[in-house]
Amino acid sequence: MTVATKIGDITVTIDVNHPVIPVGLGVPGLFIKGDTQKDQVYSSLDALEADYAEGTDIYKAASAYYAQPNAGTTIEVITYTASTTGADTKATTGGISAAAAAYFFSVWHFAVVIGDNDADQLELSNYIEEQNFKFLVAEFPTPDAAKAYTNKRTINLIHKATTDNFPVAFLGRVANQTVGSVTWKGKGDLVGVEVDDLSYPEYAAIEAAHGICYVVKGKKAVSSNGWTASGDWIDVLHGSDWVKVNIESALQDLLNTQDKITFDDLGFAQLQAVVEKVLSTAYANGIIAYDATTKAADYSVTADKYADLSVEDIKNRQYNGIHWSYTPADAVHGMKVGGTLDFPY
């Protein structure tokens, strides 16, 4: 597995256990094939138009994004090249994964592949899955067309009209709201996106495939669900990304701004306090669940004592003793309501 590596002193890993605001993470990354690998970050449609004229696929996608309620100000365009394999060295260069790796820690968080490049899109889906961080948003006309896309970090939109930029419109509507404050199901008011007129069997097939469509429920057109291709909830994964990034950022900032963090229990307590503050914010934002038993946020943070550390870690000034966990907050996605009729006879 090729792992994207960021320059820094802090590494946060998350092990997912299934029981039986400093950083926002809503920027779309538009991947398009070209002659030279590069990335460009824009803060407005006017700025983007200087490089991508009105009528180009990138301009149309960006325009659809900025037209949505809650759209952010930033959009990133990543140009990738076709992959080639040397006849002598047999080494492969270029390709969409190479571009994703080169710019993985840039501002984009939700990738959208522009153009009809299914093989490249699937490659990017698999690359993002390997990193277990960020998302790919893909669009297909039918559930059958999405069968190869089953990754936890891929969001499959099933939409008959595949030319109205449903993926970026959906991102503009939801992705830039405070992480944890919103579920991705039931989101309407997508400007310029056609509503799918589906029979119940068509809708059921999309649900069975863990796809998302734009369909009328009650009196309003909304996103049909809020999951990824694996059936995992987008808001839970987005929340775990937020926690990871903000813990890394807060701890790195502490190391960068303090003259010294002592390598003893007092210094370790400072590190623990930073992590606790991030998790407290995550709870306030709706990422972490409420524990009805303790009547508090359902998370824990511990710090190993100096006496428990290995000689090697002490020698290298490497502290690996912060341990944290939390229970993700859930959201109501459906109801079955029962009632009683009381007859007067």
Tens of pLDDT along 47-57? 999 999 999 99
Phi/psi at 171 (5° precision): -65, -40
Class of residue 183 by CB neighbours under 10 A (exposed 0-12, middle 13-18, buried 19+): buried
pLDDT at 335: 62
pLDDT at 111: 99
pLDDT at 181 > cutoff 70: yes
- Structure confidence by residue, pLDDT tens digits, 121-164: 999 999 999 999 999 999 999 999 999 999 999 999 999 988 89
Pairing of strands 154-158, 135-140: parallel
pLDDT > 70: what percent of the chain? 89
pLDDT confidence band for 93 (50 / 70 / 90): confident
Average pLDDT of the chain to the nearest whole number: 91
The rounded distance, in Å, linking the Cα atoms of 249 and 191 is 35
The mean pLDDT value for 219-248 works out to 96
Q: For 62-117, list the strands marked E by DSSP.
A: 75-80, 84-85, 92-93, 110-113
**Pure H helices in the chain:** 45-49, 57-66, 96-102, 118-131, 166-174, 200-208, 234-257, 265-285, 311-316
Pairing of strands 110-113, 84-85: unpaired
Domain definitions of the chain by residue range = 28-178+185-225, 240-326
pLDDT confidence band for 342 (50 / 70 / 90): confident
pLDDT at 89: 57
The mean pLDDT value for 329-342 works out to 72
pLDDT at 15: 44
Nearest to 11 by CA among 216, 248, 317, 210: 248
The rounded distance, in Å, linking the Cα atoms of 181 and 156 is 22
Contact 302, 323 (CB under 8 A): yes
- Structure confidence by residue, pLDDT tens digits, 298-308: 999 999 999 99
pLDDT at 71: 96
pLDDT at 228: 98
pLDDT at 43 > cutoff 60: yes
Nearest to 67 by CA among 164, 161, 141: 164
CA Rg value for the chain: 23
pLDDT at 91: 62
Name which of 9-13, 239-243, 319-323 the model is least confident about: 9-13
pLDDT confidence band for 19 (50 / 70 / 90): very low
Phi/psi at 298 (5° precision): -90, 70
- Structure confidence by residue, pLDDT tens digits, 264-313: 999 999 999 999 999 999 999 999 999 999 999 999 999 999 999 999 99
pLDDT at 336 > cutoff 70: no
Name which of 20-24, 115-119, 256-260 the model is least confident about: 20-24
- Structure confidence by residue, pLDDT tens digits, 53-74: 999 999 999 999 999 999 999 9
